[in-house]
Amino acid sequence: MKTRKLGNTQLEVSAIGLGCMGLSHGYGPATDRSEAIALIRAAVERGVTFFDTAEVYGPYLNEEVVGDALAPFRDQVVIATKFGFTFGDDNKQQILNSRPDHIRWAVEGSLKRLRIDCIDLLYQHRVDPDVPIEDVAGTIKDLIADGKVKHFGLSEAGVTTIRRAHAVQAVTALQSEYSLWWREPEQEVLPTLEELGIGFVPFSPLGKGFLTGAIKQGTTFGSDDFRSIVPRFSPEALQANQALVDLLGKIAQDKGVAPAQIALAWLLAQKPWIVPIPGTTKLHRLEENLSAATLELTATDLASINTALSHIVVRGDRYPAHLKARAGR
């Protein structure tokens, strides 16, 4: 597996990481614990060194699974997790909370669940409008000095927040959605990251499964699947957005690869400091995704993809209305 460096801090990770959320949260029932551990360890065996989790995934369950899976490989891997919520009495309601005392409390819990003594990369999961980002960055700076955190990251933050945080404590990576069907980061975020020397970790690089071609018009999602409330997965949007999947399918067929591999290779080709973190619960999909790291798209390939994309309008918001305000602050 090829490696890449995130940010000027030279954090080196596999060119493609593993987003572990879907093993425990967001896309239906949690995967059997032993099967989830086996999949994560299979990723290690195939050269993945970058694993992404968060306390909110479960809540808490995913960190425990990741901690158990990676315990034998601690010196070989980079583990990223996130803070930023409290969960209410039922552990389901997500309440933004990045107060310094809560950050410290969250870090202690993550360290215990992950079975580690230092978090490699700690993200603020969502910007908390009630807490100045300088206070958040300052708290992480203290945690780095205490040896409990190595690198600071932000997730779904806007460029003003990124700059303010970076002025207090260097931001190693931004994690936000970026893919062939969500290219907004190209407008302001990517130029800012390049200027400041911050790496970029795209989540949902396969459009929450849509870009694989496995989701068709008429596909339905259970109530415990986040996509059931996402406008971009409404029947009307799925029908309208099929043109993008058809385009990917044609390009993939011409190359003799899977659509997911084209989508990931396209991301890797955008900048050398971009490291996507596709998630999966299936070994054959894991292997398919990882093989994208060796798929080279030529300048001609990229130009033809961009030309074709310019004629496709993606329909539907990527978040339901009550969650849209959390992104891009």
The confidence band for 7, taking pLDDT boundaries of 50, 70 and 90, is: confident
Host domain of residue 145: 3-209+270-295
Residue 105 CA to residue 167 CA, distance in Å, equals: 24
Classify residue 300: in a domain, yes or no: no
CATH at 29: 3.20.20.100
pLDDT of 90 higher than 80 = no
Pick from 185, 179, 186: nearest CA to 212: 179
Classify residue 321: in a domain, yes or no: no
Q: Is 53 helix (H, G, I), strand (E, B) or coil?
A: coil
What integer is the mean pLDDT of 223-238? 92
Classify residue 240: in a domain, yes or no: no
- Angle, helices 133-145 vs 100-114, to 10°: value is 40
User: In this predicted model, what pLDDT tens digit does every residue of 15-74 receive, in sequence order?
Assistant: 999 999 999 999 989 999 999 999 999 999 999 999 999 999 999 999 999 999 999 999
Classify residue 195: in a domain, yes or no: yes
Pairing of strands 119-124, 18-19: unpaired
Q: Which of 57, 60, 123, 178 is catalytic?
A: 57
Classify residue 310: in a domain, yes or no: no
Classify residue 291: in a domain, yes or no: yes
User: In this predicted model, what pLDDT tens digit does every residue of 154-180 receive, in sequence order?
Assistant: 999 999 999 999 999 999 999 999 999
Classify residue 322: in a domain, yes or no: no
Residue 215 CA to residue 43 CA, distance in Å, equals: 24
pLDDT of 321 higher than 90 = no
Total of domains in the chain: 1
DSSP string, 153-212: EEES--HHHHHHHHHHS-EEEEEEE-BTTB-GGGTTHHHHHHHHT-EEEEESTTGGGGGG
Classify residue 22: in a domain, yes or no: yes
Judge whether 57 counts as a catalytic residue: yes
CA 196: distance to chain centroid?
20
Residue 92 CA to residue 78 CA, distance in Å, equals: 28
Which of the residue ranges 160-169, 281-290, 297-306 would you say has the lowest mean pLDDT?
297-306
